[in-house]
Amino acid sequence: MKKKPASILIVEDESALNEAYQLILKQAGYNIATAFNGNEALKIIKNFDPDIILLDLRMPHMDGVEFLRHYKLKENHPDVKVIIFSNYDMQKEIDEAYKLGAHRYILKTWASPKELLQIIETTLDNK
């Protein structure tokens, strides 16, 4: 029996990066949904059950930390893994995201498509 592909929610306000992540992950066979801020993500997850959320920290309308506060990851969604990313040194926000249940932090500029796929695979293997 073939295993169902994992579902990934991309929450990234920069449209070029959002599209790039989407393309890379779709080509790898994942089910993808995208949002451009935390408000959109909260609406999407009502009808989309992600295994992983790729979450930008700095976004308009609702940033990544605020999204995690509303999503209640630890309390309501303990099986969902959240990988946070940013281009900025935001140690206070990163620490807060970890307290709210984030699984891993990566620097956007650091992760090549191949490295992003490896991080996703490792995260799914550790689920």
For the stretch 72-94, pLDDT in tens is: 988 888 899 999 988 777 789 99
CATH number for the domain that contains residue 28: 3.40.50.2300
Amino acid present at 88: Y
Let me know if residue 22 belongs to a domain: yes
How far, CA to CA in Å, does 100 sit from each of 19, 30, 69, 86, 112?
27, 25, 7, 17, 26
Q: Which of 21, 30, 50 is nearest to 112 (CA)?
A: 21
Let me know if residue 1 belongs to a domain: no
Per-residue pLDDT of 41-70, as tens digits, reads 999 999 999 999 999 998 888 999 999 999
Looking at the predicted structure, is the pLDDT value of residue 30 above 90? yes
Range of the domain at 104: 7-125
Q: What is the mean pLDDT of residues 12-27?
A: 92
Let me know if residue 2 belongs to a domain: no
Query: 0.85 cut: is pTM over it?
Result: yes
Q: What is the mean pLDDT of residues 101-105?
A: 93
Structural domain count of the chain: 1
Let me know if residue 39 belongs to a domain: yes
Q: Which of 27, 36, 31 is nearest to 50 (CA)?
A: 31
